């Protein structure tokens, strides 16, 4: 399956590097480039990419505002957005996760990490940039402005347990090993949790888990 990718960054050099990297991969296809948030939203709506690599800081309409427009568009429900950032401790990290970002990628990340992030996002397994540590997310997710999800009561006890493990950053295989269940069962639990809570992806589940007090 070919993964259709849109890149949005105001720096021409960054776009050139991403373009070259994507062009070299047989399973990736570049469907558009944008240098600001407004153009990124317009291109996302016309090209319907699988993954958008979106710079978080851009002139005019910034990446966070563009992210909100993309994730609010029902026609782009299948599009995953990975935010590009220069700093691990970017002040917008938590706001972007709340707005539906599938994950984060540091701009100077290793090319193999970037490719892995694109493919993970496309498969729905995206979480965070390999260089954005779990501690960073816990710091943002621990802010007092976060409230428990209103539909948390719809989860079974097992699903609440799984959600807590997702919040710790565990993948399906690690959850399965921790709970002595099969990987397929763990995947089913995560899928049911996402449906019940209306989460776009695992990144939003991390925010929900922390905000609901399910991560110790």
In this predicted model, what pLDDT tens digit does every residue of 188-210 receive, in sequence order? 999 999 999 988 777 778 778 87
* Distance (Å, whole) CA 58 – CA 68: 14
Question: Looking at 80-84, 123-127, 135-139, 195-199, which range is the least confident one?
Answer: 135-139
* pLDDT on residue 134: 52
* pLDDT on residue 6: 98
Q: pLDDT digits over 70-96, tens only?
A: 999 999 989 999 988 876 555 677 777
Q: Is the pLDDT of residue 184 over 50?
A: yes
Q: For residue 60, is it left (φ>0), alpha (ψ between -120 and 50) or beta?
A: left
Confidence grade of residue 150 (pLDDT, cut at 50, 70, 90): confident
Q: Is the pLDDT of residue 179 over 90?
A: yes
3-132: which CATH topology?
Rossmann fold (3.40.50)
Q: pLDDT digits over 34-80, tens only?
A: 999 999 999 999 999 999 999 988 888 989 999 999 999 999 989 99
Q: Is the pLDDT of residue 131 over 50?
A: no
- The domain at 146-211 falls in which architecture? Orthogonal Bundle (1.10)
Structural domain spans, the chain: 3-132, 146-211
Strands 28-34, 3-8: pairing kind: parallel
Q: How many CA atoms lie within 13 A of 126 on its CB side?
A: 34
* pLDDT on residue 127: 56
- Cβ atoms 126, 203 nearer than 8 A: yes
């Amino acid at each position: 399956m070919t993964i259709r990718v849109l890149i949005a960054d105001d720096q021409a050099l960054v776009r050139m590097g991403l373009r070259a990297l994507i062009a070299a991969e047989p399973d990736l296809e570049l469907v558009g480039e944008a240098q600001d948030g407004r153009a990124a939203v317009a291109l996302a709506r016309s090209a319907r990419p699988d993954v958008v690599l979106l710079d978080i800081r851009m002139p005019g309409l910034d990446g966070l505002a563009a992210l909100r427009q993309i994730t609010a568009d029902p026609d782009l429900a299948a599009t995953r957005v990975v935010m590009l950032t220069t700093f691990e401790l970017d002040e917008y990290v938590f706001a972007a996760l709340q707005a539906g970002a599938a994950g984060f990628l540091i701009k100077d990340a290793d090319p193999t990490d970037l490719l892995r992030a694109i493919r993970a996002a496309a498969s729905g397994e995206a979480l965070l940039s390999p260089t954005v540590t779990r501690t960073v997310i816990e710091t943002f997710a621990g802010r007092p402005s976060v409230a428990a999800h209103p539909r948390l009561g719809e989860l079974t006890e097992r699903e609440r347990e799984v959600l807590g493990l997702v919040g710790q950053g565990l993948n399906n295989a690690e959850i399965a090993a921790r709970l002595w269940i099969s990987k397929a069962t763990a995947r089913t639990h995560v899928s049911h949790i996402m449906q019940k809570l209306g989460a776009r992806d695992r990144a939003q589940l991390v925010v929900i888990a922390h905000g609901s007090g399910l991560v110790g």
